[in-house]
């Protein structure tokens, strides 16, 4: 144990009436929800990058946080890992997620960087032997270093593709070694700043080839975790190839990977793409590629990725409603891709951000479960489509335009609008949130 | 000839120095651009709906225009067609486009509606015998009537699906009869207002089935025009299934229709979806589904579809640059899905809107051609990817993560960033626009 | 009583456990909140236009609703009023709001239109004698008729200014006669479509002059209700002069009207202007011009005014927190400028939309009151500014740059950042919502 | 002369047919436009921060640029200044702009920081003796250092107010010493992240007090340059108090400073606030507070401040049209608040970005002048308001609601809509751009 969180107690469930800031009021890991422990439903993960590597900078200002591990040494990287496992224990989170650059210093050469990663992975592995916290997913940061400024897989320079491929290999190895349930790809630079200097078609082909290599390598090493792509429409690039769930689906179909790869959907990225979070979840489920979620909150009036902790229960409930309807998480989970505001300087802010977020998710999950258990909501929705379960509806889908025309032309089919009853359904939902 | 445009002369090319409002200063149909007449490049079409059916209403106000054909009679429908062909002649546009509801009054029954359509189609056909203007595309309006309020193909009520299918059949017949080069589907109500009452997966299946029927029917009747889908992200619905080009591509792949259907891309819809127009064009070209364009302009500060006439030449040039790089239009063309501002009451406004738009497109096309003929721009872009044409790059794409890792780990591959030179390319483009 | 709402009971409070759709679960008019009855806090009003005049059309489709009063006769106008008072009674709302065009048919002449208005006002007055429902505010619709297409007060044609002024006079008279607590001006066309044909400065002067006339007329007739301006950034125009609260404040200051006019703030308009609702409320309060609210909800992913019934309690709580901090409503209230979705066809949808909205507001109010009564939240905020209550802070504001420079230059003032504790405050708020 | 720009020639005007990248094709300083030299119209300024201090970082990646002065020494600060004056000479720009932090390293104490600033100001002053380039404006960076994370003037901690005031004093002194034509205030942190921890009213008062101190200090030291506020709606904060021109106007009126302070309007900030650039210019002119412009370009599809070099001539023309109509710049000018894309690594990119931007502005200015000299455009606009110059219109503005009502009620005033002719005006504009 380090003394970074000195004086902060382990967070335990105390119930909704508690006024203890350092307690859960709604997240009760062992509480049963629709026949499963809440912890197993939510599968919370803490993110190494926002929690421990982010320095509080923004485009108009530098570092605000003051952490003892903010230098590039291996000793600091280990201290950072020690503090991370302190936080995991305090929060009792069952999972964590990381990029390579979050956990190790960059070396002078690729080989040294790889050795640094391996050494830290061993250090993390040692922690994991005694901790309950497992790895939800690992990933490679192929966007921060200036070598990736024009893309990783989609770089005009094949050397960057090679460097990226080699880096991904080391990150997949690390994820495999630590028993990661998933391996994630987020293409922060896989897009363009301007079409003027971009061969969009060629770059898409490069991205498709890299993804195929990833899938092949997982099979080769016997990694049976799930490969996930995380869509984002833009930022840092003007336009990212993995814009949203629908775009990723078309991409996977183009390269024949739709059975091998699923999506990790982030609330904030959905909002930036012009969708609601629940839309992206529902669509991924409908397309059979729902994998995991990055939980956070994007400010609706800001045009960039604000990555705030979630705090709106009704919205969170809508998200978990889709998760539950999709059958719940399999390998996926709820990763807090959420960062403190840069004015939130204190170690306790980091704990309280997660406590609040976990409680909000727990309330959302319970509300979603209550909606489904009540049954009225789903029944109302299904009733709306009842005609499709009757012979007229069923036959219609087997028919063709000419035959249908003949039916309609002879009269008798004059469809009458029926109320969509949106307000009534909104009221119904509000009984549970 | 009607007297609607009385006193307005036929518009002819007079060159850039003309100060005659009723002349083209840039659109010169017979001028050769990259070896083809400008008219054949641009393939301009006038839109029946905005030009003749739109009444000038908006969500906060009713009809402002005062047209002699604004009633529901067949006589008015014919007068409207007569005026339309007057305008086509005045503008010398080689094409027009229409929805069924633009040209015929709704009947008391489907059968009467169909007869109305057929009678007007004959009337239009008679005009076409003596006019030069051909049909670029026809389409069915499955969004204005209240029966479609909850969708056409995606309606919860199978009767609406049937009614829609029958209506599409009549519109495809009309398009076929008039020799339309394309048949378009825009799903204005194929989306949802709220996920709460929506079975997204089922509705997508219904939409896929309808599209398959359309493709089958075209084959059945020997219609060899191109089937096109027009993407739009939202409005009137909160979320439309044909969100953008990438979404439509995934949809076509899901239903195995990517070889049968292409896209009709609208500038304003691209903007609403968070893309530039040129992005959508470049992506469609890369995916092999580029078909046609709806030319207009969306106000960048308004969050709805403003459908203004284009007036920014540099932007239009970027669009035609992508069109030319995609090989130009085949069956497609430049349809003005542009409407007058509701304060532009006079017949001459309708003519001047088109004159301005056609001139802007002509300037854009000529600039795009000059950029390509200069060659410097494309050469700079290709040079950026030169490494991929060498053996290192080529081998890389055939390799796998382990082998690439071995290469990188042994050192020697340490990619160095190279300037993307965006500002230089922007300057280069500005020589031609 | 009409039979429009036949079978729908009067809505009464049944408590949170009720599963009766036609009951309030949270709105309990007589419940005391911070020493005042809930009804007097919220001062709910129903809006005549959305409830009774809106036909369900949108830019891509026509009327979906089917109401027996949808024609232009005086008999229908009276039926509409009868139904309105049925709804007021069913919902037990203490107030309503109206535009002239909502309640009366347009006549052939201004004089006839005025007579129509007067006759209906008498009819409404008769209802009010026996009903509990009072008038929160009246207003003139100076945006729907084509004569206003280029503005009302800001029209390039002085005749339209005159017509508008005369119309406002009739609406102020009607509001006065019915005892309206406020008179509202919303300038739906007081803006521009393009700067190209607009003299912005002149139009602002016209608007300022009209507003002065309104203030003068109120004094002349002894109307002591509050004059309110309702800000909106755009839609229907590209840019509206009353963009947001800050803009209206500057406008009032320019014309010396800041003591005579306050603002009516709408949630959806705040969102369209890029603000949160609570921002607009807090700013109006800080500037001393907070008047009343239009409660509704704007879809965060749609770029137009969706005017939905509110359904997010945490957001509503933030709004009422600002209302309570501003001292609560004086003449103002909570007007539901909320409309049914156009697929919500049934009379019961209209009732249920309001029931849900009223319950959401009641939950928001109670949460806001609990936050204030707990006190921890306000105390934390005030503590952040504690330094300004000490002599150093107080003196500073009386000082000048040179003196302050001298103090800082000699050392000793080296401010250290302190955590803003946003996440902690968000958690605190979430205890109450 | 340093060797940073080695091999890059001084940029000279060569005319539109030049294909020399390192030449102006449109900006010809001595060319007369509306009776004034182009250089005196445009008054170009280069920005120290983007050109020399920006490192190419973004929220997802670090420094990409590699400049020999990227350390914190005084020697590097002087080298940077030397390179800056090299660039000013190469570009022949008549002005530059700077923040304190752009030019000097931070010292260990305020006093040391001030000495650093003074020493560099002397160094710059020495350059200015032999260079033609003058200072357009200076400003204080009160947003990058962590001490300002919660605001400068609006900080909850009065010590930060004091530190800010002292810093402003040093920057005003520096600006005065270097003969700056203006002094600018941009309040990057003068706003809030969340209303939860913010006393909006108090913070506005603090901001008002600081601005009054600035105005007083200018008078005290005899500085007769113009004080300017630069509006921005948000970023880095969620909401900035100087949101847009209209907001700043209200703020100035609140504190009685509308005669002492004008605005510096940035294209990108206008876009972020939901306005067109020309709107902000036209409004500032109408309100009598137009001062200067920050020229750049914001990506219309990105929700953050992209600060690109301008490249769209038609848009730039609309901006200069408003500048010319406002009487042209007095103390203000055209500051390139434009930065290279982070992939544009080379020194020549920095030169070419400015060359392109200057040419685009020159084309815009010439087009705007041609529009005004042609006169047709302004005549058409004025004609629209002709009625207001007649007695009916003039009398109307002196009248009152009752009298106007009497006039209208007796009949005869029945305004008829007239076409706004927007498309015609757009075509007219396109003759000149």
The string of pLDDT tens digits covering residues C345-370 is 999 999 999 999 999 999 999 999 99
CA distance readout (Å), B81 to B73, B123, B126, B298:
13, 8, 11, 28
Burial of C43 (0-12, 13-18, 19+ CB in 10 A): buried
Q: Are residues C365 and C392 in the same domain?
A: no
Which of D142, D149, D156, D298 should be substituted to probe chain A, the one whose Cβ sees the most A Cβ atoms within 10 Å? D149
Distance from CA of B176 to the nearest CA of D (A): 34
Chains that touch C (3 or more CB pairs under 8 A): A, B, D
CA distance readout (Å), D90 to C29, D133, D360:
75, 11, 18
What is the pLDDT averaged over residues C72-90?
A: 98
**Shortest CB distance from B149 goes to which of C61, C235, C301?**
C61
Partners of A227 in the beta sheet?
A183, A261
Of B1 and D322, the one with more pLDDT: D322
Residue C112, SS3 per DSSP = helix
Residue-level pLDDT at C349:
98
Q: Do B343 and D420 touch (CB under 8 A)?
A: yes
Report the alpha-carbon distance of residue D297 to residue D318 in Å, rounded.
Answer: 13
Residue B326 is classified by DSSP as T
| Domain contains D233 | yes
Distance from CA of B15 to the nearest CA of A (A): 30
SS3 readout for D340-402: CCCCCCCHHHHHHHHHHHHHHHHHHHHHHHHHHHHCHHHHHHHHHCHHHHCHHHHHHHHCCHH
Check whether A299 is labelled as a binding-site residue: no
Residue B362, SS3 per DSSP = helix
Tokens 């991904």 belong to residue: A168
CA distance readout (Å), B80 to A274, B4, B120, B170:
39, 10, 10, 21
| Domain contains A214 | yes
CA distance readout (Å), D232 to A92, D143, D184, D322:
42, 14, 13, 20
Residue-level pLDDT at D216:
98
Q: Which two tokens stand for residue D314?
A: 């038609």
Check whether B266 is labelled as a binding-site residue: yes
Residue-level pLDDT at B382:
96
| Domain contains B246 | yes
Residue-level pLDDT at A412:
85
Q: Are residues A388 and A359 in the same domain?
A: no
* CA angle, B64 then B66 then B69, to 5°: 130
Judge whether A121 and A83 are in contact, CB under 8 Å.
Answer: no
Judge whether D105 and D141 are in contact, CB under 8 Å.
Answer: no
Distance from CA of D385 to the nearest CA of A (A): 38
Report the alpha-carbon distance of residue D286 to residue C201 in Å, rounded.
Answer: 5
Structural domain boundaries, residue A43: 31-374
Task: Kindly tell me if the per-residue pLDDT of D412 is higher than 90.
Answer: no
| Domain contains C10 | no
List residues of A whose CB lies inside 8 A of any C CB: 19, 21, 25, 64, 271, 274-276, 300-301, 309, 311-315, 340-341, 343-346, 348-349, 352-353, 355-356, 359-360, 417-424, 426-427, 429-431, 433
The 10 Å Cβ neighbour count of residue B397 is 15
Report the alpha-carbon distance of residue D29 to residue A129 in Å, rounded.
Answer: 73
CA distance readout (Å), B25 to B14, B323, D430:
6, 22, 10
| Domain contains D222 | yes
At D361, which CATH number? 3.20.20.150
Q: Are residues C196 and C284 in the same domain?
A: yes
Task: Kindly tell me if the per-residue pLDDT of D382 is higher than 90.
Answer: yes
Instruction: With beta carbons under 8 A apart, name residues in chain B contacting C299.
Output: 238
Q: Are residues C127 and C228 in the same domain?
A: yes
Check whether B269 is labelled as a binding-site residue: yes
Report the alpha-carbon distance of residue B359 to residue B23 in Å, rounded.
Answer: 10
Q: Which two tokens stand for residue A349?
A: 């802010």
Q: Which residue of A has its CA nearest to C338?
A: A423
Listed residue (C80, C139, C137, C131) closest to C105, CA to CA: C80
Residue-level pLDDT at B412:
85
Judge whether A151 and A202 are in contact, CB under 8 Å.
Answer: no
Which of C21, C307, C422, C428 should be substituted to probe chain A, the one whose Cβ sees the most A Cβ atoms within 10 Å? C422
Which of A317, A354, A426 should be substituted to probe chain C, the one whose Cβ sees the most C Cβ atoms within 10 Å? A426
Cα atoms found within 13 Å of the Cα of residue A101, Cβ hemisphere only = 15
Q: Do B409 and A110 touch (CB under 8 A)?
A: yes
Q: Are residues D197 and D316 in the same domain?
A: yes
Listed residue (C138, C152, C169, C110) closest to C45, CA to CA: C138
* Domain final residue, candidates A350, A374, A398: A374
What is the pLDDT averaged over residues D135-140?
A: 98
What is the pLDDT averaged over residues C184-192?
A: 97
Given the DSSP bridges, would you call strands D36-37 and D32-33 parallel, antiparallel or unpaired? antiparallel
Question: Residues of chain A with pLDDT > 70: what percent?
Answer: 100
Question: Residues of chain C with pLDDT > 70: what percent?
Answer: 100
Instruction: With beta carbons under 8 A apart, name residues in chain B contacting D427.
Output: 21, 311, 352, 355-356, 359
Question: Residues of chain D with pLDDT > 70: what percent?
Answer: 100
Q: Are residues B298 and B397 in the same domain?
A: no
Q: Which two tokens stand for residue A114?
A: 């790889």
Q: Are residues D90 and D239 in the same domain?
A: yes
Residue-level pLDDT at D115:
98
**Shortest CB distance from C111 goes to which of D169, D393, D409?**
D409
| Domain contains C3 | no
Q: What is the pLDDT of residues A29-49, one digit of tens each?
A: 999 999 999 999 999 999 999
Partners of C191 in the beta sheet?
C240
For D165, phi then psi, to 5°, come to -60, -45
Q: What is the pLDDT of residues D330-364, one digit of tens each?
A: 999 999 999 999 999 999 999 999 999 999 999 99
Distance from CA of A185 to the nearest CA of B (A): 15
| Domain contains B356 | yes
| Domain contains A7 | no
Q: Are residues C76 and C172 in the same domain?
A: yes
Report the alpha-carbon distance of residue C399 to residue C395 in Å, rounded.
Answer: 6
Q: What is the pLDDT of residues C154-170, one digit of tens each?
A: 999 999 999 999 999 99
Residue A24, SS3 per DSSP = strand
Q: Are residues B342 and B411 in the same domain?
A: no
Q: Which two tokens stand for residue C319?
A: 């709004």
Q: Do D343 and A193 touch (CB under 8 A)?
A: yes
Q: Which two tokens stand for residue B310?
A: 């284009």
- Tell me the pTM: 0.98
Listed residue (D301, A4, A417) closest to B150, CA to CA: A417
In which residue ranges of chain B is pLDDT below 70? none
ipTM of the shown complex: 0.97
DSSP class per residue in C130-195: HSS-EEEEEE---SSSGGGTT-STT-SSHHHHHHHHHHHHHHHHHHHHTT-SEEEE--TTSEES-G
Residue B226 is classified by DSSP as E
Residue-level pLDDT at C337:
98
Report the alpha-carbon distance of residue B11 to residue D323 in Å, rounded.
Answer: 35
Residue-level pLDDT at C419:
98
Listed residue (B240, B233, B368) closest to B298, CA to CA: B233
Q: Are residues D282 and D399 in the same domain?
A: no
For D136, phi then psi, to 5°, come to -75, -50
Judge whether B345 and B300 are in contact, CB under 8 Å.
Answer: no
Report the alpha-carbon distance of residue C380 to residue D156 in Å, rounded.
Answer: 12
**Shortest CB distance from C415 goes to which of D160, D172, D220?**
D160
Task: Kindly tell me if the per-residue pLDDT of C268 is higher than 90.
Answer: yes
Specify the DSSP element, H or E, that contains A182. strand A182-185
Chains that touch B (3 or more CB pairs under 8 A): A, C, D
Give Cα A76 to chain centroid, integer Å. Answer: 27
Q: Are residues D218 and D153 in the same domain?
A: yes
Q: Which two tokens stand for residue D323?
A: 């500048």
Using 50, 70 and 90 to split pLDDT, how confident is the model at C412?
confident
How many structural domains comprise chain B? Answer: 2
Instruction: With beta carbons under 8 A apart, name residues in chain B contacting D344.
Output: 419-423
Instruction: With beta carbons under 8 A apart, name residues in chain A contacting D301.
Output: 234, 238-239
Tokens 């370009």 belong to residue: D297
Judge whether A275 and A231 are in contact, CB under 8 Å.
Answer: no
Listed residue (B376, B249, B230) closest to B293, CA to CA: B230
Listed residue (D78, D204, D81, D62) closest to D133, CA to CA: D81
Instruction: With beta carbons under 8 A apart, name residues in chain C contacting A317.
Output: none
Listed residue (B170, B111, B86) closest to B350, CA to CA: B86
Contacts of B136 (CB under 8 A, 6+ apart): B43, B45, B95, B96, B97, B180, B181, B182, B292, B332, B333, B335
Q: Are residues D235 and D149 in the same domain?
A: yes
């Amino acid at each position: 144990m380090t003394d970074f969180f000195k004086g902060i107690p382990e967070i335990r469930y105390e119930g909704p009436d508690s006024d203890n800031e350092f307690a859960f009021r709604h997240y009760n890991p062992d509480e049963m929800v629709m026949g499963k422990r809440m912890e197993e439903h939510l599968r919370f993960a803490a993110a190494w990058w926002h929690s421990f590597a982010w320095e509080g900078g923004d485009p108009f200002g530098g570092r605000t946080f003051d952490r003892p591990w903010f230098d590039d040494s291996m000793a600091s990287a280990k201290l950072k890992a020690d503090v991370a496992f302190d936080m995991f224990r305090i929060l009792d989170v069952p999972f964590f997620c990381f990029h390579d650059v979050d956990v190790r210093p960059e070396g002078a050469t690729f080989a040294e960087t790889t050795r640094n990663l391996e050494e830290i992975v061993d250090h993390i592995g040692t922690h994991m032997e005694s901790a309950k916290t497992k790895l939800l997913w690992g990933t490679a940061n192929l966007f921060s270093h200036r070598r990736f400024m024009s893309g990783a897989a989609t770089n005009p320079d094949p050397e960057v593709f090679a460097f990226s491929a080699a880096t991904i290999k080391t990150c997949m190895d690390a994820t495999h070694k630590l028993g990661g349930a998933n391996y994630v790809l987020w293409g922060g630079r896989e897009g363009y700043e301007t079409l003027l200097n971009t061969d969009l078609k060629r770059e898409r082909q490069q991205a498709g080839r890299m993804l195929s290599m990833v899938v092949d390598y997982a099979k080769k090493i016997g990694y049976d975790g799930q490969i996930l792509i995380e869509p984002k429409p833009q930022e840092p690039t003007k336009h990212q190839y993995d814009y949203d769930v629908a775009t990723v689906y078309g991409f996977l179909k183009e390269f024949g990977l739709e059975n091998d790869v699923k999506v990790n959907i982030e609330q904030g990225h959905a909002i930036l793409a012009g969708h609601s979070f629940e839309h992206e979840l529902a669509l991924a489920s409908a397309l059979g590629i729902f994998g995991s979620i990055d939980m956070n909150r994007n400010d609706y009036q800001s045009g960039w990725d604000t990555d705030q902790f979630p705090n709106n229960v009704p919205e969170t409930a809508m998200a978990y409603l889709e998760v539950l309807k999709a059958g719940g998480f399999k390998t996926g989970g709820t990763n807090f891709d959420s960062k403190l505001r840069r004015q939130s300087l204190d170690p306790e802010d980091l704990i309280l951000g997660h406590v609040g977020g976990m409680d909000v998710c727990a309330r959302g999950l319970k509300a979603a479960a209550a909606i489904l258990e009540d049954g009225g909501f789903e029944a109302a929705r299904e009733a709306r489509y009842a005609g499709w379960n009757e012979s007229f509806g069923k036959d219609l889908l087997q028919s063709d335009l000419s035959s249908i025309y003949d039916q309609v032309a002879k009269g008798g089919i004059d469809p009458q609008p029926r109320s969509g009853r949106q307000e009534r359904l909104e009221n119904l939902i509000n009984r549970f949130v």
